[in-house]
Structure formats: structure tokens, C-alpha cells
């Protein structure tokens, strides 16, 4: 299960996907406690970093517990991507820099030609990867989709360019930009990429259980797996997968007490670097994910959406764990 990206040794091959607005330091610490091998931090804009945006620089906040970490950047200009990579390297010393070539959001992909927009411009892909690889003394990885749309699936061609340009690993989320997050990811594309490059391939898309994790590893022969939405409110999924990979056995159900314990922990981590109001707002979303499916959770969620102080939020969760 151990795994290497460039010279970075990872304890296992199970990774957390970058998710904008979600994968901040608090969530990452929780996931790390579940044993994840590598964390990908949510994307930051190259231009915003180059313009010294405080909001973006704040997004680089990290505790040592979260390491090893890959910080993701997005942009479409090789020079400013290289400059942004240097800024990240100096400010947070991540183990890896990851380049986003999958974001489907119109403002990123269409207007700026960044994220998945780059899949339409293989020449630029090469220039960006080379520029970033030359700019920092750490491994550079790239996360791609299968292509722009169903008529232009080019993951294999793009992966070969990325490898040649010096990247140390590649993550494949096999949906087209046009698909967004709809439909199924086509794991055959992960397999095809794996068969065509020598650098490690990380497979991503629709892993929701330990069985899915094993299935992706077996079917695609990818070197590592990456999980995004399946971990929302369920960071325990990493523990389940790792336990299954190590022992071949399944962990039991996660208890209500355990879920609430981690929701509270998550909230306390948020309070360490965000002000109370913002932490409460963010925790409303996370708490509703943690409590999903528990008996009586609908009422508790309603209460959580009304609380205005940290004491009230903690008491609401505490009281629910005693019911
Ligand atoms: C809310 C949200 C935010 C995301 N933000 C990013 C991002 O910042 N960078 C990126 O490469 N992918 C991002 N993604 C895509 C995920 O990393 C992942 O590729 C996708 O969700 C498929 O994996 P999953 O089925 O395990 O969720 C995001 C996905 C979601 C749902």
C-alpha cells in the first residue's frame, strides 16, 4: 500500500480529493486522523497569489499534522503558474504542487481557459507543466478529466504530454467537462491512462465504499485512489478502506456518538483559524452531512441552522449525542 510520488514517500495509496470550499485545514485534519496517505488541498488561483490576495494567501493555512500535502493551483498562463508555484513553495512548503486541469466551472474553464479548459490546448498543457516543474524543487502532479466533451476524449494523449513535461504523477477523474458531476465516471479511461504512462496514476470518481475502492484498484490497476464526495460527513470512509485493504475485513458501522464526536472536533478545528461566525456557517453544512441518516437528525439540523454562538452549536450536538 505504500506509494511514492517523485521522492515523496507516502504511507498508503489512499488520497483525499481537492474540493473547493470543503478541503480546508479543519476537514483535512479530520481526514488525516482517519489515516489518509496524501491530502490534496483545494485549488487556489495563480493570479490571486501573484496579486498577493489576502483571501487566497489565507487559504494556504496548514498545520503540520496534515502533511504530506499537495497544494493545487489553477491558471492558464505558464509564467504566472510558475510564479504562483514558487509563492506556494515559499509560504507553505507543501510536499507536492498539483495543477488543476479538471475544473468545469465556466468562469475558470471557459472564460480563463484554465482547469478543464486546458484539455483543449495540449501545447499549453506542456508549457504550463514544464514551467511549474522548473519553478519548484518538489514533485509536480496534474489532475485531469477525460476530455472536454464526449467527442474529444483525450486523457491518454494529455497524460503522455504531462509525463513528458516532467510531472511526477497524474490523477484521472474520468468524466468530461461537459458531464460536470453527472452520470458515471468511466473507469476504463483510468485503465487506459495507466497502460500508457510510467508515472503513478491516481484513479478518482465515484468511490463511496471500501468495495468501490478495491474494485477501482483491481479493474484499472491504478497506483492509488482518490476520494472526494464520498468523504463528506463520512471521513470514516478512509479508515474503512484502509482497514479493508490491510485485513480483507470490513469495519462495523460508525456509531452516532463517533459521528458527533468528530463533528465537534471538526468545529473546534475550524474555530482555530476562522472567526466564530464563519466557523458556525461552515459547520452548518458539515454537521448536516455528519448527521445525515441518524434518527432525529432533521430536528437537530433545523436547530443548528438557527444557532449563532459556538456554545449553542456545541450544546446542540452534545445534547443530540445523549438522546
Ligand atoms: C464541492 C466540490 C469541489 C471541488 N473542487 C475541486 C478542486 O478544487 N480541484 C479539483 O481538482 N477538483 C475539485 N473537485 C472535483 C473532485 O476533486 C473530484 O474529482 C470529483 O468530485 C470526483 O470524485 P468523487 O466522485 O470521489 O467526488 C471538486 C468537487 C466537488 C464536489
Kindly state the average pLDDT of the residues 184-204.
Answer: 98
The ligand 1 atom nearest the CA atom of 102: 11
Q: What is the pLDDT of residues 123-154, one digit of tens each?
A: 999 999 999 999 999 999 999 999 999 999 99
Mean pLDDT, the chain, whole residue set: 96
User: Do residue 150 and residue 296 come from a single domain?
Assistant: no
Domain that holds residue 195: 3-247
User: Do residue 164 and residue 190 come from a single domain?
Assistant: yes
- Identify the residue whose C-alpha is closest to ligand 1 atom 22: 205
110: confidence class by pLDDT, cuts 50, 70, 90: confident
Kindly state the average pLDDT of the residues 94-119.
Answer: 95
Radius of gyration of the chain (CA): 20
Query: Given the DSSP bridges, would you call strands 69-74 and 8-10 parallel, antiparallel or unpaired?
Result: unpaired
C-alpha distances in Å from residue 206, one per residue of 3, 102, 112, 240, 273: 22, 15, 28, 16, 31
We report the CATH number of the domain holding residue 243 as 3.20.20.70
- Identify the residue whose C-alpha is closest to ligand 1 atom 5: 19
Out of 223, 247, 271, a domain closes at 247
We report the CATH number of the domain holding residue 295 as 1.10.1200.80
Q: What is the pLDDT of residues 196-222, one digit of tens each?
A: 999 999 999 999 999 999 999 999 999
pLDDT value for 316: 96
Please determine, for residue 73, whether its predicted confidence score (pLDDT) is greater than 90: yes
Lining ligand 1 with CB less than 6 A are 17-22, 42-43, 72, 100, 102-103, 143, 173, 204-207, 227-230
The ligand 1 atom nearest the CA atom of 100: 11
Please determine, for residue 301, whether its predicted confidence score (pLDDT) is greater than 90: yes
pLDDT value for 323: 84
Q: Give the residue, out of 14, 19, 155, with the most ligand 1 atoms within 8 A of its beta carbon, to mutate for a pocket test.
A: 19
User: Do residue 59 and residue 123 come from a single domain?
Assistant: yes
Out of 200, 229, 247, a domain closes at 247
- Identify the residue whose C-alpha is closest to ligand 1 atom 2: 19
User: Do residue 76 and residue 125 come from a single domain?
Assistant: yes
pLDDT value for 1: 78
Q: How far is the CA of 321 from the centre of ligand 1 (A)?
A: 31
Number of residues that this document lists for the chain:
323
> In 36-69, which positions are buried (b, 16+ CB within 10 angstroms) versus exposed (e)?
bbbbbbbbbbbbbbbeeeeebbebbebeeebbbb
Q: How far is the CA of 315 from the centre of ligand 1 (A)?
A: 32
- Say which range, 42-51, 105-114, 222-231, 308-317, has the weakest mean pLDDT: 105-114
Catalytic: 103?
yes
Percent of the chain with pLDDT over 70: 100
User: Do residue 193 and residue 107 come from a single domain?
Assistant: yes
User: Do residue 23 and residue 156 come from a single domain?
Assistant: yes
Query: Of residues 15, 23, 50, 103, which has the active-site annotation?
Result: 103
User: Is the link from the previous residue into 214 a cis peptide, with omega within 30 of 0?
Assistant: no
Domain count, the chain: 2
Please determine, for residue 244, whether its predicted confidence score (pLDDT) is greater than 90: yes
pLDDT value for 60: 96
| CB 194, CB 222: distance < 8 Å | yes
Amino acid at each position: 500500500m505504500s506509494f511514492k510520488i517523485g521522492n515523496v514517500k507516502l504511507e498508503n495509496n489512499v488520497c483525499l480529493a481537492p474540493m473547493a470550499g470543503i478541503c480546508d485545514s479543519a476537514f483535512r485534519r479530520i481526514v488525516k486522523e482517519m489515516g489518509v496517505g496524501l491530502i490534496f488541498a483545494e485549488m487556489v488561483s495563480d493570479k490571486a497569489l501573484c496579486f498577493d490576495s489576502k483571501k487566497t494567501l489565507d487559504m494556504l493555512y496548514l498545520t503540520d499534522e496534515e502533511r504530506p500535502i499537495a497544494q493545487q493551483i489553477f491558471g492558464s498562463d505558464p509564467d504566472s503558474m510558475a510564479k504562483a508555484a514558487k509563492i506556494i513553495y515559499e509560504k507553505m512548503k507543501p510536499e507536492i504542487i498539483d495543477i488543476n486541469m479538471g475544473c468545469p466551472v465556466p468562469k475558470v474553464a471557459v472564460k480563463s481557459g484554465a482547469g478543464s479548459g486546458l484539455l483543449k490546448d495540449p501545447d499549453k498543457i506542456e508549457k504550463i507543466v514544464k514551467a511549474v516543474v522548473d519553478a519548484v524543487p518538489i514533485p509536480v502532479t496534474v489532475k485531469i478529466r477525460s476530455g472536454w466533451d464526449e467527442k474529444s476524449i483525450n486523457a491518454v494523449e494529455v497524460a503522455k504530454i504531462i509525463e513528458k513535461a516532467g510531472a511526477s504523477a497524474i490523477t484521472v477523474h474520468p468524466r468530461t467537462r461537459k458531464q460536470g458531476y453527472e452520470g458515471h465516471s468511466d473507469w476504463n479511461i483510468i485503465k487506459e491512462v495507466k497502460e500508457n504512462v510510467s508515472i503513478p496514476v491516481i484513479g478518482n470518481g465515484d468511490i463511496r465504499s471500501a468495495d468501490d475502492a478495491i474494485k477501482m484498484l483491481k479493474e484499472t490497476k491504478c497506483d492509488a485512489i482518490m476520494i472526494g464526495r464520498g468523504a463528506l460527513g463520512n471521513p470514516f470512509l478512509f479508515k474503512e478502506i484502509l482497514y479493508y485493504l490491510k485485513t480483507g475485513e470490513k469495519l462495523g458501522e460508525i456509531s452516532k456518538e463517533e459521528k458527533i464526536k468528530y463533528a465537534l472536533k471538526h468545529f473546534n478545528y475550524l474555530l482555530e483559524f476562522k472567526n466564530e461566525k464563519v466557523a458556525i456557517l461552515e459547520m452548518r453544512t458539515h454537521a448536516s452531512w455528519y448527521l445525515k441518516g441518524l434518527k432525529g437528525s432533521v430536528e437537530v439540523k433545523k436547530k443548528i441552522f438557527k444557532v449563532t454562538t459556538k456554545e449553542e452549536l456545541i450544546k446542540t450536538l452534545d445534547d443530540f449525542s445523549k438522546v
